[in-house]
Structure 1
Amino acid sequence: MKSAGFIFTLAAGLWLAALGRDQWSDWVDATQLPPLALETSVEVKDRTGTLLRAYTVSDGRWRLAIQGAEVDDGYLRMLVAYEDKRFWTHSGVDLWAMARAVKQAALNGRVISGGSTLTMQVARLLEDSGTGALDGKFRQMRVAWALERRLTKDQILQLYLHLAPFGGNLEGVRAASFAYFGKEPRRLTPAESALLVAIPQAPESRRPDRAHGRAVAAREKVLARAMRDGILAQDQSVAALTEPVPHIRRAFPALAPHFADRVVAEDPAARVHVLTLQAGLQKSLEALAKDVIAGQGERVQLAMVVADHGSGEVLASVGSAAFQADHRQGFVDMTQALRSPGSTLKPLIYGLSFDQGLGHPETMIDDRPMRFGTYAPQNFDRMFRGTLRMREALQLSLNLPAVQVLDALGPAKLLSALDKSGVKWHAPGDQPGLAIGLGGVGISLEDMVQLYAAIARGGVSLPLTHTMQGQQEPGQRVLTAVAAWQITDILAGLAPPPGAPQNRLAYKTGTSYGHRDAWAIGYDGRHVIGVWMGRPDGTPVPGAFGADTAAPVLFQAFARLKRQLDPQPPAPAATLLVSNAELPQPLQRFQSRAQAMAGPGNGPAVAFPPEGAEVELLPQGLLVKVEGGQAPFTWMADGVPLAVAERGRSSLLSRLGRGFVTLSVIDANGQSARASVRLR
């Protein structure tokens, strides 16, 4: 039957050739072609074009987009030589090849070689018309002639590279290369090329994962033909025969699965998404997460985010230790979940207080039992350290000093700073109270990394981005450069976890109420990394502390990111680098809001310039006036002392620049007043 089919096909071709040229041409032009626009897999790639994750097309097949230039040239030459030697010269149907096939079939009583060209194979694959039926073969010839008229040879070859079957739900050479070799087909060995040439001739019976022996034999046949045709030298062919044929079908890349799902959902129409991630780093951190969680119990989960805080680009995002439905709820992206940040907001609280002239890293503050109305916070270890420097209070992550500072600032100030940094937060009630400073607010890991990136960037926010979009415009200023540097200097003074390098990484840990969340966030002069550990369902993890569980992972993540930390920037010129005794008297000891309100007499007020004013900055400086309070006065601009021990009520402040500035005046009793103005 098969030889009869070839005879019929040849006869049909000769009959068509016998028709008048015009009639035949009109008949070909009238051919109704199947759709030529192929659906290809949605792909998510890293910044270098490395495939992170791909998705099957609508019918569940893997069909990855590819250009001819992206395929190994040796494979293309081997393919054309084996399947269709005259591909570049015939018009779609190779009558000489058909005649040879018919002759061989007649002499041997069976099919020895096929007469289908690559163009005819494309026609068959486009219409899924089968191979043996006579009417199907006749249709393939007509479609092949029509394709050759409407497409270039390169376009036809590209269709074959997309549609060639490789067993199961694999279509196209790129999908096959990933499935059998785990790599792009840009660089294929002769043995790999030969296998990919052989499989489409009988895709189910030559699948190396299910019919290994037949796959080996088919590859040998292609290699022998390639050596005979001069495509391979004898030594190359011999070496190729020793290369093992894969026994298994590999899984397609699935790096950053949570992140990939998110970006595809954001833009479902796009076929390719190029992200800022680094595939190598992503793979390394996913392996780290899996190793860490292995000994943490079946319900504990881990998430990580790595970003370049200079550009805002996310370099890695690990939503969970494994993307699977298990007791750890691995399908949940824990970089996006709202969780209690514990003590990780304390650096922002202290930084805001430095900006407002309420304190300095060397300012002394009390750590003792106290109440704030009905709110009576406790330190995590329920111990008290007495009087100590603000620097030490932050490094020890003491709750009572932090609440005192937040009480003086006001919770609204903290929430406003979160808004400026681009953090999306959730707090219960219409007017969140002081508990937000100790974790009484919901924030995601990604947003916490964005907040610390703002501190690392000198106090200026910049939204994290996952797309390659060039230089971003900086956002709002959250802290002054001086306060941001002071916080960095404090956090870089923290002792690293046992066994970690002494590398001056600026970092902060946090543990939420009930041991539900363990955090560690750190940064150097270029990168910021955030780590979260806990249970996705929010149940407690007894004994879990940020310093003990999350911090070691943070340092391991930095070790996988780079060999050496990038140095932190130097202190801004306006930074006051002095001991406590050398500070202006009002800054030597912190005064709580209650102490300030109970101070002797009326506190000071900024008489000029008034709150919200727009004032012209004169060459000699800015004239300021204070009313009330008790001399001497200290004037500060954005937390930097500009005039100390002023006896008069008028002062001339120099070293100011144009733009928005917060002026603070502190009297001899430590009472203060502020006014935010714009200098032009």
Structure 2
Amino acid sequence: MKARAAFALAAGLWLAALARDGAEAWVAATDLPPLAVETGAEVLARDGRALRVWTVADGRWRLATEPGLVDPLYLAMLTAFEDRRFADHPGVDWRALLRAGWQAVAAGRVVSGGSTLTMQVARLLEDSGTGQWRGKLRQVRVALALERRLSKAQILSLYLHLAPFGGNVEGVRAASLAWFGREPARLTPAQAALLAALPQSPTLRRPDRAPAAAAAGRDRVLARALEAGLIDRDTHDAARAEPLPAARRPFPRLAPHLAERLRAAAPGQGRIVTTLDADLQARLESLASEAVARAGERLQVALIVADHRSGHILASVGSAAYDNDARQGFVDMTQAVRSPGSTLKPLVYALAFDQGLAHPETLIEDRPTAFGRYAPQNFDRQFRGTLRVKEALRLSLNVPVVALAEALGPERLMQGLRRAGVRAVLPGNGVPGLAVALGGVGVSLEHLAGLYAALARGGVARPLSALPDAAGAEEGERLVSGVAAWQVGDILAGLAPPDASAPGRVAWKTGTSYGHRDAWALGWDGQHVVGVWMGRADGTPVPGAFGGELAAPVMFAAFARLGPQRAALPPPPPAALLVDNARLPQPLQRFRPRGALTGPGLATAPEIAFPPDGAEVALDGAPLLARIRGGQGPFTWLADGVPLAVGDPGREVHLPVPAGAGAVTLSVIDAAGQAARVRVTLAP
């Protein structure tokens, strides 16, 4: 009876088609179901691969795709197996329907199906049944109407989204990720054949539950592909021998903290493309797990890698395990505000170089010193006496950097942090003090990495971003001169790495916050900046934790996972003063803290009388006229830390215009080491 009914239906439809006028009106009056298909939100890597995906509202995995993003062999196998005349028929393949009905009558059972891909789309859109003639007739009507309103590519796209592949998996992209762990753009012949076969019986052919049935279905598709000339005999035989997937794979869940944050910021956006490198992200998430595997159960780690030239974030690891409750893995430690310890010292030195207060070869004192009521000590409670500034930075000594910070002023440090895009949080929102130089402020790993990226970029600050349209959208703000930024990088590149490799490839600095709560390591090469934080997410101390011992090895391991071909650190800028201490301008040979006694005369501090601070000076090709009052000659003049005149005895001087001009910091240092500075704009 069923076979006769199938034949009768096919014949009836054929006769109905002959009544063209009536059929056209019947099709035109079809009320189509909604054609918009809901797909799950997804965050993608820069090459389009999924980092993180979500289900649709009813819990089904269904992901957006298009025919152009699917392996052509799969599409060819699909049409060869399901609908050979898909490109030509009007939605219903009358010949196939008639043949299916005739075969059913002759054999007494269903031998072949007559449904086209368009009819299957019609069924999937409405979830209409296939066993009742009314449901079949409805599929025919909707299929004919779909063909009149949509292109073949649009109909195929609907199938690629709605076809069932077992369980709560729908659509070829979700199926490819679930069964093979890969995007469907490139599939093996065996994989393509299995995906073509599964929708016919998605429950009975699930390879994890019914491998024999799955293999039989796949092999039928391969046989049809061989017959159609889509593959050769060797490919057919090799595909039949390929193992079936034994279980569903988990859907991508890379960069979960960042993905959740981006999705929350754009709730209506279905696809968010990022600047992340999926392979690097996976390698660094593995590194994060390794870094805490042998540590206490509460130790946590966060990493960030960015291309400092573009501002693109390439990898962001918020914790070692997103769902580890003991380590509070759900907390994104790239965003958490923590004390940076000594990692702000490079900024202090860069500003001091930029302001003409010091040079890497300048001598500075590391002795017990009280700055008012503040008397900092070094981490090891020892003092080194007189040493060069570059040595003070490499040794991360506290007294020298606080002396420089006092000369700069704490507010200048805070301004520098703001220009670098760092949101610095003062304890109790109080007034900044000299302790800022030693980490007495709260910052996040992402912002701290942005500060180091500014130094790596030649002193130009630009926010880091994981969104391609946001990263590098701004030209950036000058934080320090290119010379000052290079000087700091050159000093930090002289530190010996913990992995016993030769120094010079990475400029790096570590930090440890008060009470061993935070261990930091940040560094850069010619292209990348890497930041690492380690500690406990709840802020409790980690006894014995030091940035150099805990975080630095992880940072260098992250650099190693960038690959062997990395950009070298830049050479010195042409304006860099590469001399030893004896050949420095006299005021730069030794740093004297503000208010230091210099002998008889005790001249008043110098003051730049012209040009005034904030002035715009039109030079019209002439040198810059500068005047000074107070101070003790001779005087040294600098622009952005580059000497313009050394040992000039006069209080009025004509200075050469700095290369490039524009906004510059003009500084003067007198014979007693006292300095004054103004910020002016020069128009040549």
TM-score bin, normalised by smaller chain: over 0.9
Query: How far did 1:641 drift?
Result: 2.5
Alpha-carbon distance in 2 for matches of 1:620, 1:152: 71
1:332 aligns with 2:331: yes
Partner of 2:460: 460
Query: How far did 1:326 drift?
Result: 2.2
Amino acid corresponding to residue 515 of structure 1 in structure 2:
H
Residue 675 (structure 1) aligned to one of 651, 658, 678: 678
Query: How far did 1:548 drift?
Result: 0.7
Give the conservation status (yes or no) of the 8 Å contact 1:47–1:278.
yes
Q: 1:248 to 1:403 in 2, by over 3 A?
A: same
Name the SS for the 1:561 alignment partner. coil
Alpha-carbon distance in 1 for matches of 2:459, 2:94: 75
Name the SS for the 1:281 alignment partner. helix
Q: 1:205 to 1:588 in 2, by over 3 A?
A: same
Query: How far did 1:25 drift?
Result: 1.3
Partner of 1:497: 498
Query: How far did 1:620 drift?
Result: 4.7
**TM-score (normalised: structure 1):** 0.95
Q: Deviations over 1:466-487 (max 9, x none)?
A: 2334864421111111111111
Partner of 1:42: 41
Q: 1:249 to 1:379 in 2, by over 3 A?
A: same
Alpha-carbon distance in 1 for matches of 2:484, 2:639: 12
1:607 aligns with 2:609: yes
Amino acid corresponding to residue 464 of structure 2 in structure 1:
L
Alpha-carbon distance in 1 for matches of 2:174, 2:157: 14
1:136 aligns with 2:154: no
Query: How far did 1:550 drift?
Result: 1.0
Query: How far did 1:11 drift?
Result: 5.5
Amino acid corresponding to residue 70 of structure 2 in structure 1:
V
1:653 aligns with 2:652: no
Residue 642 (structure 1) aligned to one of 632, 639, 644: 644
Amino acid corresponding to residue 439 of structure 1 in structure 2:
G
Alpha-carbon distance in 2 for matches of 1:227, 1:579: 78
Q: Deviations over 1:47-71 (max 9, x none)?
A: 2223322222222222222222322
Question: Identity percentage over the alignment?
Answer: 61
Give the conservation status (yes or no) of the 8 Å contact 1:596–1:670.
no
Q: 1:2 to 1:468 in 2, by over 3 A?
A: farther
Alpha-carbon distance in 1 for matches of 2:598, 2:205: 86
Query: How far did 1:166 drift?
Result: 0.2
Partner of 2:525: 524
Q: Deviations over 1:535-590 (max 9, x none)?
A: 11111111111111111111111111131442222222222222222222222221
Query: How far did 1:399 drift?
Result: 1.2
Query: How far did 1:490 drift?
Result: 0.8
Partner of 2:437: 437
1:225 aligns with 2:227: no
Q: 1:130 to 1:576 in 2, by over 3 A?
A: same
Instruction: Could you tell me which runs of 5 or more consecutive residues in structure 2 were left unpaired when the two chains were aligned.
Output: none
Alpha-carbon distance in 1 for matches of 2:112, 2:672: 102
Alpha-carbon distance in 2 for matches of 1:463, 1:92: 53
Alpha-carbon distance in 1 for matches of 2:76, 2:505: 56
Query: How far did 1:633 drift?
Result: 2.2
Q: Deviations over 1:266-290 (max 9, x none)?
A: 2232222222222221221111111
Amino acid corresponding to residue 617 of structure 2 in structure 1:
V
Amino acid corresponding to residue 626 of structure 1 in structure 2:
I
Query: How far did 1:511 drift?
Result: 0.7
Give the conservation status (yes or no) of the 8 Å contact 1:305–1:530.
yes
Q: 1:197 to 1:645 in 2, by over 3 A?
A: closer
Q: Deviations over 1:2-32 (max 9, x none)?
A: 43652453355256346x4322211111110
Amino acid corresponding to residue 617 of structure 1 in structure 2:
L
Give the conservation status (yes or no) of the 8 Å contact 2:624–2:657.
no
Name the SS for the 1:593 alignment partner. coil
Deviates more, 1:274-283 or 1:390-399: 274-283
Give the conservation status (yes or no) of the 8 Å contact 1:63–1:170.
yes
Partner of 1:271: 270
Partner of 2:512: 511
Deviates more, 1:23-32 or 1:624-633: 624-633
Name the SS for the 1:435 alignment partner. helix
Give the conservation status (yes or no) of the 8 Å contact 2:462–2:472.
no
Alpha-carbon distance in 1 for matches of 2:628, 2:97: 102
Query: How far did 1:235 drift?
Result: 3.2
> Superposition pairs for residues 341-360 of structure 1, below 5 Å?
341-360=340-359
Name the SS for the 1:595 alignment partner. coil
Deviates more, 1:595-604 or 1:646-655: 595-604
Amino acid corresponding to residue 666 of structure 2 in structure 1:
L
**TM-score (normalised: structure 2):** 0.94
Amino acid corresponding to residue 579 of structure 1 in structure 2:
D
Partner of 1:554: 555
Deviates more, 1:92-101 or 1:352-361: 92-101
Q: 1:314 to 1:4 in 2, by over 3 A?
A: same
Q: Deviations over 1:615-636 (max 9, x none)?
A: 3326452222222222222222
Query: How far did 1:115 drift?
Result: 2.4
Name the SS for the 1:176 alignment partner. helix
Amino acid corresponding to residue 370 of structure 1 in structure 2:
T
> Superposition pairs for residues 365-384 of structure 1, below 5 Å?
365-384=364-383
Give the conservation status (yes or no) of the 8 Å contact 2:42–2:271.
yes
Q: 1:17 to 1:544 in 2, by over 3 A?
A: same
Query: How far did 1:111 drift?
Result: 2.6
Alpha-carbon distance in 2 for matches of 1:105, 1:397: 86
Give the conservation status (yes or no) of the 8 Å contact 1:5–1:132.
no
Residue 631 (structure 2) aligned to one of 629, 635, 638: 629
Q: Deviations over 1:649-680 (max 9, x none)?
A: 22221243532222222222222222222222
Q: Please report the RMSD computed on the Cα atoms of aligned residues, expressed in angstroms.
A: 2.2
Q: Deviations over 1:207-251 (max 9, x none)?
A: 111222221122223323333444443333222211111111111
How many residues in Structure 1 have an aligned counterpart in Structure 2? 679
Deviates more, 1:103-112 or 1:493-502: 103-112
Deviates more, 1:487-496 or 1:266-275: 266-275
Give the conservation status (yes or no) of the 8 Å contact 1:635–1:641.
yes
Q: 1:205 to 1:372 in 2, by over 3 A?
A: same
Deviates more, 1:69-78 or 1:361-370: 69-78
Deviates more, 1:651-660 or 1:176-185: 651-660
Amino acid corresponding to residue 442 of structure 1 in structure 2:
G
Give the conservation status (yes or no) of the 8 Å contact 2:208–2:245.
yes
Name the SS for the 2:460 alignment partner. coil
Give the conservation status (yes or no) of the 8 Å contact 2:40–2:270.
yes
Amino acid corresponding to residue 436 of structure 1 in structure 2:
V
